[in-house]
Amino acid sequence: MARMTETDEARRELDRQRTVEITTIGRRTGRPRRIETWRYRAGGRYWLTGSPGSRDWYANLLAHPEFTLHLGERELRVRARVVTDPGERARVFGEIVPGLGWAGSLQSWIAGSPLVEIELTGAAPAGP
């Protein structure tokens, strides 16, 4: 039986929990900022987003794409891939938004919501 990698274990954990905690690095302060947010799944990948509007966590990830993903007792260093391509945004939000009864219009999400992919490839335990 093949041994599960840290990335495999992270995927299993992400499949089990929709609410996750992330720690970003403040774009102005350089200090860690930990928040709770929802993760989404589309196209077999994991995403962070939110209803249209600005978000501090997103601005932090634009400045410092590496962040810590907290999954239960596990903490992993991962990377945010910011998605700005209109076609990709439409595809991803086309999977996410219809399942959210409260979300409003798909077009408003495409135009005004932050969108980042959680890149797990090479995920490593977070160190000190």
Domain boundaries, the chain: 6-120
Structure tokens at 64: 């410092």
Strand partners, 30: none
pTM of the model: 0.84
Nearest to 57 by CA among 41, 77, 35, 76: 35
Burial tier of 104 (Cβ tally within 10 Å: 0-12, 13-18, 19+): exposed
pLDDT on residue 6: 67
Contact 38, 1 (CB under 8 A): no
pLDDT on residue 122: 63
CA gyration radius, the chain: 15
- The CATH class, in words, for 6-120 is mainly beta
pLDDT on residue 101: 65
pLDDT on residue 106: 83
3-state per-residue secondary structure call for 60-75: HHHHCCEEEEEECCEE
pLDDT on residue 32: 97
Please, which residues have CB within 8 angstroms of residue 47's CB and are 6 or more apart in sequence? 39, 40, 41, 92, 96, 115, 116, 117, 118
Contact 38, 108 (CB under 8 A): no
pLDDT on residue 97: 84
pLDDT on residue 69: 93
pLDDT on residue 124: 65
Residue 59: count of CB within 10 angstroms of its CB: 15
Low-confidence ranges of the chain (pLDDT < 70): 1-6, 98, 101-103, 121-128
